[in-house]
Amino acid sequence: MGKFQELRVWQRAKNLTVYIYTITSDGKFSKDFGLRDQIRRAAVSIASNVAEGDELGTNKQAINYFYIAKGSTAEVLTQTIIANEIGYIDDTICNQIKEECAAIAGMLTRLIQARRK
């Protein structure tokens, strides 16, 4: 515990957050303050909760934060689908984020399982 920056799931979540900030900084997405801010907060929440969970003293506490991170991953996925359907992002960007969310959610599931043992 305590070395969250070494966790691949944290690294991928952090990179996803940077990407989300990039794609929401231009065009129509940048002007929709509600959706833009919500997807950014959800993305930040993934990496932040992984870090916070990893820093806590027990696996039980950590697992709770990892579940919150997993929920935030679903939130980013939902908001990405909405952004695509209303024309803020194209199919290519949408699919990239979908794939990354699926990968991060899978990594979180495995991390939770490992911490339960």
**Mean pLDDT split into 10-residue runs, the chain, 117 residues:** 87 98 96 98 98 91 97 98 98 98 98 94
What is residue 117's predicted lDDT score, i.e. its pLDDT? 84
Q: What is the mean pLDDT of the chain?
A: 96
Token readout for 99 is 């794939």
Class level of CATH domain 4-116:
mainly alpha
pTM: 0.94
What is residue 2's predicted lDDT score, i.e. its pLDDT? 58
